[in-house]
Structure 1
Amino acid sequence: MASSDFIEELRGVVSLAIDHADQDLRKKINQELHEHPETAYQETFAHDTITQFLEDRGFTVKRGTYGLATSFEAEIGSSGRLVVICAEYDALPQIGHACGHNLIATSSIAAFLGAAEALKKSGAPGRLRLLGTPAEEGGGGKVKLIEAGAFKDEIAAAIMAHPMPTHQIFGPDASHTYDGLAGLKMIASHKFRTEFRGKTAHAAGEPWNGVNALDAAVAAYSSVGLLRQQIQPDERVHAVIEVGGTVPNVITEYTRMNWNVRSPTIARADKLLARVKACIEGAAIATGCELNYIV
């Protein structure tokens, strides 16, 4: 059989495998994960649901891999180049699966099922691994996996698909669409938290004896708001005050903020991060608070 004919046959094998699993992928993975959103490192329902789904289809699955209770691995093949398909399944706090990680898990599992059948049909050497990657939404799950050795093998490719909003797929006049990564702009991102520590005091009786950590958080937020006037149009800085105090008549002694600093390249993101940190550190100096970065 000509190689082109064989490739077409393998494509048919992939399509058939995914078609056979289509309803189960929709109901047992996509819908179930969407209805049971879990945040970073708490994805026990997703972990158990996906691993059971794979085991029911004859795959050997390792649960709780690389020191992360909600990571997993399933692999076929014993020699040759290794391709890793990553699967995300965590949700956003209070919002649920607004970023579509239920769709990421579904598409990654579908790709794994189809490619596994094609690999078996081809008889060629090669390994295929589905890797569960928890805590993408701010938890640094993939960083922990890298540090734990999840990608230490010689890997030919590590791949994943991500859903996108239509305004990023269609052109300005909706007359054409983009195919693949080449048509989409990816951005680098620094994610971190800051803590400001001050000194409590009665806000009415002796405010002069307090050091106000809420003032530090507000000053940092406001300074970065002014900084936005002088950053590039394709750069972004956003933050929230996660802990802002308790009662108004007590000087706030502790605040915590969550930050995202984004730019098209890591080099530009590093420069922007330095400017943002100058605003944060200036707020600490101005208020007399102690500053701590949480990465």
Structure 2
Amino acid sequence: MKRILGLDLGTNSIGWALVNEAENTDEKSSIVKLGVRVNPLTVDEQKNFEIGKSIPTNAARTLKRNARRNLQRYKLRRDYLIKCLREYGWIDSDTMLYEWGNHTTFETYRLRAKAVTEEISLEELGRVLLMINKKRGYKSCRKVKSSDEGQLIDSMEIAMDLYHNDMTPGEYVYSLLSKGKKYVPAFYRSDLLNEFDRIWNCQSVYYPDILTPQFKELVRGKNAQGTSKLFKQQYNLFTADNKEKDKRLQAYRRRTDALKKRLDIEDVAAALCDVNKDVNASSGYLGAISDRSKKLFFNKQTVGQFLMSKLDKDSHFSV
């Protein structure tokens, strides 16, 4: 008697059967057991399965579980805060913790901005705290120097140095490298774009036919490769090579010199490529958040004051 396992492998199911096959006339063939396992795949999962890609079946469930967990934590935070406010007598069970009545769409935002400079009632302050409790922001990742260089570097502290000393990120790093430092800190995206504009404005005096406002709109914010390609396509210009032993020092010296004196157009293109490279290396979404935080700091505004100023100008402003 020969025992055979038969498999029918499909994209949505696997059929199987274990049979005994007779090898002579005295024996009788029989089915030992059979069955089918169905894979309820989505369209995307089926396509991935057919081309041999792995299917992380738990990924979707993990995302949904995390969403449920975050919602539960938000509700617990809110319930605990309301309990504390009631316990200390700021609100009672009849207090309305939402906007009600005509022309009160942004009343809580208004109270939040007003509370910074004027007195509001404890009940109104409770509403403001509930709004802040809803969106708590995120904890910023601070940049750290290497162990032999010591202290923490905070991007806001660097932004203040740039502002008070009228420096660009390129000048700041060049001063560090010239002193033998090796660490290059992270910069706000807005400071890097400001450096791009300053280099462009300075060098456009010498090359007005090349560094035009129209060409600037094409180049500003592109990645390094895209910037280099645009110079080649528009003016058949190649970026200057970096031939010194310390290539990084030369690159930042070039960015520094581009703010003060005339450079060869190839060196200007190389400097702009380097700045754009740093712009694209900065975080997009979180970088925009950081830039907004920097503006609040320099404008001496709170988040609530900033939001209310935008909503006063445009009631459809996306918060």
If each structure's strand is expressed as a fraction of its own residues, which one has the higher value?
1
Q: Tell whether the structures are fold-level matches, with TM greater than 0.5.
A: no
Q: Which has the higher contact order (CA 8 A, sep 6+)?
A: 1
TM-score, normalised via structure 1 length: 0.22
If each structure's helix is expressed as a fraction of its own residues, which one has the higher value?
2
TM-score, normalised via structure 2 length: 0.20
Which structure: larger Rg? 2
